[in-house]
């Protein structure tokens, strides 16, 4: 089955700096890669996703890049703000018979220091 | 829409007792997912329903766990008998159609088995 590795497990940045979180996946058939944000004590919420037919997607201060050859994808947050502090999870989903399943990475605790 | 609704929000029980978690997905969503979240194992998919039919329960830890979806607006996850290692946050999520659409998570049920 799919295996998703996520790094780093913790990340601390100063307000205004950029943050980058990286994930690798094992199943070359995976074609959908969402990112979820989970604030302390809250539910995970989708912040951005990318499909395998594009290499990059942006939404204001957030961007995701995908390298299918290398089987890795990354989340980039620019001009970080204290409210960006949360745990971020990457995930991957395959095609065909396994397209119902999201496999999550272990998460990255991002702390933005004022 | 009220979003995905879960009950109870917190449950404390003693080892050996039966626990039933409940979920009401967003109206019109035909996919429902049960996840378990722990520090050690992260977010794990337990079972996935499509149009009220269980598609894959390979993530269910063992026979002590069972899940049902008698209709499109209600699902249950039952643990019988419960054990301390079942302590976790259990999330229900729903999507319009499968894992490659935005999954909307409920607030979760925090379960503590003593």
Give the per-residue pLDDT at B21: 98
pLDDT in tens, A3-61: 999 999 999 999 999 999 999 999 988 999 999 999 999 999 999 999 988 899 999 99
d(CA A64, CA A73): 7
CB A30 within 8 A of CB A24: no
Interface membership of A77 toward B (CB under 8 Å): no
Q: How close is the nearest chain A Cα to the Cα of B88, in Å?
A: 12
Q: Which two tokens stand for residue B105?
A: 């998570």
- The predicted pLDDT at position A29 comes to 87
Supply B69's token pair. 């979806």
Q: What are phi and psi of B105, to 5 degrees?
A: -90, 145
- How confident is the model at residue A94, as a pLDDT? 76
Does B107 sit within 8 Å of A43, measured CB to CB? Answer: yes
Output the pLDDT for position A95.
62
Query: Which of helix, strand or coil describes residue A82?
Result: helix
Q: How much is the mean pLDDT over chain B?
A: 94
Supply the pLDDT for residue A47: 97
Min Cα distance B23 → chain A (Å) is: 14
**How does pLDDT run across A56-70, given as a tens digit for each residue?**
999 999 999 999 999
Contact A44 B43 (CB under 8 A): yes
CA A45 to chain B, closest CA, distance in angstroms equals: 7
CA A63 to chain centre: 10
- Residue B42 and residue A107: Cβ atoms within 8 Å? yes
A102 lies within 8 A of chain B by CB: yes
Among candidates A42, A101, A103 on the partner chain, residue whose Cβ is nearest the Cβ of B48: A101
pLDDT tens digit sequence for B50-92: 999 998 888 898 899 999 999 999 999 999 999 999 999 999 9
Strands lying side by side in the sheet with A62-67: A4-7, A19-25, A72-77, A62-67, A56-59
CB contact under 8 A, B43 and A32: no
Residues of chain B contacting residue A46, judged by C-beta atoms under 8 Å apart: 102-103
Per-residue confidence (pLDDT) for residue A70, from 0 to 100:
94
- Supply the pLDDT for residue A97: 58
What is the structure's pLDDT at A99? 59
The three-class DSSP label of residue B85 is helix
> What pLDDT score was predicted for residue B60?
92
Higher pLDDT, B101 or B32: B32
CA distance A76 to chain B (A): 20
pLDDT digits (tens, 9 = 90+) for B6-35: 999 999 999 999 999 999 999 999 999 999
Judged against a pLDDT cut of 70, whether residue A90 lies above it is answered with yes
Burial (0-12, 13-18, 19+ Cβ within 10 Å), A79:
exposed
pLDDT given at position A33: 96
pLDDT at residue B1 greater than cutoff 90:
no
pLDDT at B100: 86
Q: How far apart are CA A41 and CA B91, in angstroms?
A: 12
CA dist A105 and A88 (Å) reads 9
């Amino acid at each position: 089955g799919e295996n998703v590795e996520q790094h780093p497990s913790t990340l601390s940045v100063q307000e205004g700096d950029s943050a980058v979180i990286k994930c690798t996946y094992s199943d070359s058939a995976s074609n959908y890669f969402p990112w979820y944000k989970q604030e302390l004590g809250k539910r995970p919420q989708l912040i951005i996703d990318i499909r395998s037919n594009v290499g990059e997607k942006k939404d204001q201060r957030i961007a995701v890049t995908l390298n299918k050859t290398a089987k890795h994808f990354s989340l980039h947050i620019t001009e970080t703000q204290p409210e960006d502090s949360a745990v971020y999870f990457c995930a991957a989903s395959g095609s065909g018979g396994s397209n119902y399943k999201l496999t999550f990475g272990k998460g990255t605790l991002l702390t933005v220091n004022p | 829409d009220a979003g995905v609704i879960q009950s109870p929000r917190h449950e404390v029980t003693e080892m050996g007792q039966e626990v039933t978690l409940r979920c009401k997905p967003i109206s019109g969503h035909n996919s429902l997912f049960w996840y378990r979240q722990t520090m050690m194992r992260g977010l794990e998919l337990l079972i996935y329903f499509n149009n009220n039919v269980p598609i894959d329960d390979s993530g269910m830890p063992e026979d002590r766990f069972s899940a049902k979806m008698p209709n499109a607006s209600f699902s249950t996850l039952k643990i019988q008998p419960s054990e301390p290692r079942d302590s976790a946050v259990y999330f229900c999520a729903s999507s319009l159609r499968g894992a490659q659409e935005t999954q909307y998570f409920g607030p979760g049920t925090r379960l503590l088995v003593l």
